[in-house]
Structure 1
Amino acid sequence: MPLTFRKSFRILPGVTLNINRKSWSITTGGKNGPRHTRSSTGRRTTSMNLPGPFGWRKTTGGSGRH
């Protein structure tokens, strides 16, 4: 089983810096509404929790693997 590293830091209310072994990303937004994530690899993701066991996510750009 490979070892992984991931750490999140809350910079401001509603803004989080996420760091892993190969990249970093900034997430804005909260639990009640859309979240926008921009990664150092060029990936942009918009996601939102919907009522019940549903969720929505759209990802554009970046390969996600480097």
Structure 2
Amino acid sequence: MGFRFRKTIKLLPGLCLNLSKSGVSASVGKAGATVNVSDKGVRGTVGLPGTGISYSERLSTREPAAGGRLFKALLAVAFCAAVALYILTQ
């Protein structure tokens, strides 16, 4: 059995930065519906809060190697921050 590491840092209401052994990603959304952006692609998840029941689907896949993982992760964070700011100003 392997060890896992995952740390979530809340940046703004509805915006989190996720750190793990396999990389960095950003999540935008509230309980029940989130979009996660990482160098592996975009994933959408909807669920029933408090039940453990959820459905997750890959919305896009990773593009062929065209840059470092850090650059893509920072781009994902910038995109998620822009979406969060848009949501907060509505």
Q: TM-score of the superposition, structure 1-length normalised? A: 0.73
Unaligned runs of 5+ in 2: 63-90
Count of equivalent residues: 60
Q: Specify the alignment match of 2:18 in structure 1.
A: 18
Instruction: Looking at secondary structure, tell me which structure has more helix per residue.
Output: 2
Q: Which has the higher strand share?
A: 1
- What percentage of aligned pairs have identical amino acids? 23
RMSD (Å), alpha carbons: 2.1
| Counterpart for residue 7 of structure 1 | 7
Gap change, CA 1:31 and 1:61, over 3 Å in 2: same
Report the CA distance shift for 1:54/1:21 in structure 2 as closer, same or farther (over 3 A): closer
Using the size of structure 2 for normalisation, the TM-score is 0.56
Which has the larger Rg? 2
Query: Structure 1 residues 54, 20: CA separation in 2 closer, same or farther (over 3 Å shift)?
Result: closer
Q: Within 1, Cα distance between the matches of 2:3 and 2:48?
A: 32
Query: What corresponds to 2:38 in structure 1?
Result: 39
Q: Which has the higher contact order (CA 8 A, sep 6+)?
A: 2
